[in-house]
A and B are shown apart, each in its own frame.
Chain A
Amino acid sequence: MAELTQDRATEVMTVNIGPHHPATHGVLRLIVDLEGEVVKDLKPVIGYVHTGIEKSCEDKSYWKVIPFVERMDYVSYFFQMEAYCGAVERLVGLEIPPRAKYLRTIFLELNRIHSHLVWLGTTALDLGAISMLWYCFRERDRILDLFEMAAGQRMHTRYFQVGGVIEDIPLGFEKKLREFIADMPVRVGQYQALLDRNEVFLSRTKGVGIVSRERLLELGVTGPLLRAAGEPWDLRKAFDYLAYPEVDFQIPVGTVGDNYDRYRVRVAEMVESTKIVEQALDLMEEGPFIADDRKYVLPPRSELSTSMESLIHHFKLVTEGFRVEPGEVYYSIESPRGELGCFVLADGSSKPSRVHFRDPSFVNLQAFKDMAVGSYIADMIASLGMLDPILGGVDR
């Protein structure tokens, strides 16, 4: 009998997946115990893209931190910017003008669509539907074109600034954006036609990777994963920030909490996001796009040659930056992956004493074991895709 159990034990094969593997979404390493093809145990190993961003932030003046935090979760950079800029604004008590609110809302939601498109393309690729990647990236490129138009950069735009946004949207932007949001629901319908009515896709996702709502809440999981399990928790509704209280949108929730629900929730969110963008665009009026507080915001370039005051402010802001009274703040927003929080501790100097991000990918990754243990290795890869972790955000 003892020998038999010994034999059973040797049937377990430990496979190392990653950190470089075609399917891990970023440099994630998985140590998987397999019995046949069934996952018996699983250990995610992280830290392969740890770059010490949070520590580096302590050495930069407040507004030079913005490009750093963008590079944490490199797919949802606008959200990192908003979490950080919003936290600093709350720390110094800076109110942003209405136009900036709408602009930020528009870009956040565009970024949400962009992030979900990347997710859909890569996850479908994991399931073997190779063409979805190109269809999704076609629309993603249109979003990146819009980002480029407004900010000059396609990724890591550094568009948000403490006090508002760095520049107003250019002429022709609105037309292009309206064309995009008119097209997007049609495109989403096409994706659904390819996947939702596909027997192979349904059999690969339905009933796979189920984690109960209670367990997800215990683990602190947020975002589409939690909503797919039936918990309608969305910070855009729960908290009052930016223009979200003024626009009308719905929170898609799933019922079972399997991979299919996760897929459906995210796809529905894309459509809801286009609605938010459209409403914000309608509600937005002409006006200043950045607060008029010379202590924190650069003066307009035209004033520099005429006003001594402005020149001094400009010089102070660019060299030393602004000082922040001692204090601390935590500000959290709904990123495409869940609750993205930013903690900033100020010590009175012009550099933050501590910047810390509560990254949703990091917290959500805890649920991976619950999703994958007991399933086939193919489903484990699919579940990892549906979890949608961005390793840049996990490791920071």
Chain B
Amino acid sequence: MLPFADTQFVEATWIMIVKSLVIFAIVFGILPILTVVERKLIGRFQHRYGPNRVGPFGILQPLADVGKLISKESFRPANAVSTLFILGPLLPVLSGVLALAIIPWGNVQDGVGLYGIDVPIGILYFFAVGSIAFYGMLLGGWSSGSKYSLLGAMRSAAQLISYEVSMGLALLGVIMMSGSLSLVDVVEAQGTIWFVIPQFVGFLIFMLAGFAETNRTPFDMPEADAELVQGFMTEYGGMRFGSFLLVEYMEILVVSGIAAAMFLGGWMGPGPGWLDPIWMLAKMFVLVFVFIWVRATLPRLRYDQLMSLGWKVLLPLATLNVLVTAVLVVTT
């Protein structure tokens, strides 16, 4: 019954290369702006200005930050495992960049699909590459040779197994309703109604798990600065530390992108076709704003509380959601 998205749109190789470069360039242009936006917004939430010294409105602050981080010594503790220590920050960057590829910015226009790739396994790809990031944290934390890092790494492992299942189940409802794993097809299926309305429970569970995926408050246990200094990145300095930070923002973008595509109708919006990527970006930024807002407001959960939340609340809820959706899809 389930129609698999069998034939994909095939493009010339040079278009693929140009496309990936453009997406890469745009996203890496957004990332630094995102850091300023977050610091500005949190500043406003906290009755202060946020960065406003470097460049107009502090817009050049990330350049100054990166310049500082690059010029710093790449310190490595004496008892760290050198190769793994260097590999640690690279894996999450890889995972983030790979996950960017499937975010759909628009459908095929003038012979060019406005997305990196449209794979028939779509969302499974997102989970597959998304989980690689945690290897980076685990390896980085473990190989640092520091007890704080080890504890942070352990926490990230515990966190990974607690929410990943519910995250997958939360999306299962959407996949059943759209009948395809491909993100482009999922967005196309939302022509009449955005899935956030019939799949509201799934949306909430996905966003909650998304906070855990991105290590953001209230689930920032792996890097809980109050108890573990900086968790798995305690011993990192310079741009290695910077890339861990960068990945956090990249993951926010990716999770927002997936959520926007799966629940908020992706690029759907009034206006001509060239507006589609703008709509997608706007929806993503609404979700990014939620991420920042929550960070400024909520305290941090304890890691055993996240585990019990993941296993005892989110998982049954997500399962129930899938069950109800399945019954409804079959009967109607």
Whether A126 contacts B301 in the complex (CB less than 8 A), given A134-B46, A134-B47, A138-B47, comes out as no
Bound state CA distance, A281 and B297, in angstroms? 36
A376 interfacial by beta-carbon distance below 8 Å: yes
B304 interfacial by beta-carbon distance below 8 Å: yes
8 Å CB contacts to B: which residues of A103-155? 124-131, 133-135, 138
Expressed in whole angstroms, the minimum distance between the Cβ of A72 and any Cβ of chain B is 26
B220 touches A128 (CB 8 A): yes
Whether A128 contacts B217 in the complex (CB less than 8 A), given A23-B226, A198-B298, A376-B304, comes out as yes
Instruction: Give B225's nearest chain A residue, CB to CB.
Output: A22
B148 touches A15 (CB 8 A): yes
Bound state CA distance, A377 and B154, in angstroms? 13
Provide the residues of chain A in CB contact with B296, threshold 8 Å: 130-131
A376 touches B46 (CB 8 A): no
Between B46, B217, B221, the greatest number of chain A beta carbons within 10 A of the residue's beta carbon is seen for B46
Expressed in whole angstroms, the minimum distance between the Cβ of A152 and any Cβ of chain B is 27
B45 interfacial by beta-carbon distance below 8 Å: yes
Expressed in whole angstroms, the minimum distance between the Cβ of B21 and any Cβ of chain A is 37
Bound state CA distance, A22 and B230, in angstroms? 9
Size bin of chain B's contact surface:
20 to 34
A311 interfacial by beta-carbon distance below 8 Å: no
A45 interfacial by beta-carbon distance below 8 Å: no
B147 touches A378 (CB 8 A): no
A186 interfacial by beta-carbon distance below 8 Å: no
Contact partner of B299 (CB less than 8 A), chosen from A22, A34, A201, is A201
8 Å CB contacts to B: which residues of A19-55? 21-23, 34, 36-37
One digit per residue, 1 when the CB lies within 8 angstroms of any chain A CB and 0 when it does not, for chain B 202-243 equals 000000000000000110110011111100000000000000
Provide the residues of chain B in CB contact with A125, threshold 8 Å: 226
Contact partner of A23 (CB less than 8 A), chosen from B227, B301, B302, is B227
Contact partner of A127 (CB less than 8 A), chosen from B45, B228, B299, B304, is B299
8 Å CB contacts to A: which residues of B44-80? 45-48
One digit per residue, 1 when the CB lies within 8 angstroms of any chain A CB and 0 when it does not, for chain B 263-307 equals 000000000000000000000000000000001111111111100
Provide the residues of chain A in CB contact with B221, threshold 8 Å: 378
Contact partner of B227 (CB less than 8 A), chosen from A131, A133, A195, A378, is A378
Provide the residues of chain B in CB contact with A377, threshold 8 Å: 151, 227-228
Contact partner of B226 (CB less than 8 A), chosen from A34, A36, A128, is A128
One digit per residue, 1 when the CB lies within 8 angstroms of any chain B CB and 0 when it does not, for chain A 352-385 equals 0000000000000000000000001111110000
A200 touches B227 (CB 8 A): no
Expressed in whole angstroms, the minimum distance between the Cβ of B232 and any Cβ of chain A is 14
A203 interfacial by beta-carbon distance below 8 Å: yes
Provide the residues of chain B in CB contact with A378, threshold 8 Å: 221, 224, 226-227, 300, 302-303
Instruction: Give A194's nearest chain B residue, CB to CB.
Output: B297
A182 interfacial by beta-carbon distance below 8 Å: no
Main secondary structure of the interface of A (DSSP, over half): helix
Provide the residues of chain A in CB contact with B301, threshold 8 Å: 200, 203-204
Provide the residues of chain B in CB contact with A380, threshold 8 Å: 227
Contact partner of A128 (CB less than 8 A), chosen from B148, B224, B305, is B224
Expressed in whole angstroms, the minimum distance between the Cβ of A143 and any Cβ of chain B is 16
Instruction: Give A38's nearest chain B residue, CB to CB.
Output: B304
A13 interfacial by beta-carbon distance below 8 Å: yes
Contact partner of B295 (CB less than 8 A), chosen from A130, A198, A204, is A130
Provide the residues of chain A in CB contact with B154, threshold 8 Å: 36-37
Provide the residues of chain B in CB contact with A381, threshold 8 Å: 226-227
Expressed in whole angstroms, the minimum distance between the Cβ of B276 and any Cβ of chain A is 36
Between A15, A36, A201, the greatest number of chain B beta carbons within 10 A of the residue's beta carbon is seen for A15
One digit per residue, 1 when the CB lies within 8 angstroms of any chain A CB and 0 when it does not, for chain B 15-48 equals 0000000000000000000000000001001111
Expressed in whole angstroms, the minimum distance between the Cβ of B208 and any Cβ of chain A is 12
Expressed in whole angstroms, the minimum distance between the Cβ of B141 and any Cβ of chain A is 14
Instruction: Give B298's nearest chain A residue, CB to CB.
Output: A200
Instruction: Give B148's nearest chain A residue, CB to CB.
Output: A15
One digit per residue, 1 when the CB lies within 8 angstroms of any chain B CB and 0 when it does not, for chain A 194-213 equals 11001011011000000000
B226 touches A126 (CB 8 A): yes
Bound state CA distance, A68 and B212, in angstroms? 49
A129 touches B299 (CB 8 A): yes
Bound state CA distance, A130 and B297, in angstroms? 7
Expressed in whole angstroms, the minimum distance between the Cβ of A247 and any Cβ of chain B is 32
Provide the residues of chain A in CB contact with B150, threshold 8 Å: 13
Provide the residues of chain A in CB contact with B226, threshold 8 Å: 22-23, 125-128, 378, 381
Bound state CA distance, A376 and B147, in angstroms? 16
Instruction: Give B218's nearest chain A residue, CB to CB.
Output: A200
Expressed in whole angstroms, the minimum distance between the Cβ of B153 and any Cβ of chain A is 12
**Closest 6 A/B residue pairs (Cβ):** A128-B300, A134-B46, A129-B299, A127-B299, A23-B226, A126-B226
B-side interface residues toward A, CB under 8 Å? 42, 45-48, 147-148, 150-151, 154-155, 217-218, 220-221, 224-229, 295-305
Name 19 extra pairs, CB < 8 A, besides A13-B147, A134-B46, A135-B46.
A15-B147, A37-B154, A124-B299, A128-B217, A128-B224, A128-B299, A130-B296, A131-B42, A131-B297, A134-B48, A194-B297, A195-B299, A198-B299, A200-B301, A204-B300, A376-B304, A378-B224, A379-B302, A380-B227
A-side interface residues toward B, CB under 8 Å? 13, 15, 21-23, 34, 36-37, 124-131, 133-135, 138, 194-195, 198, 200-201, 203-204, 376-381
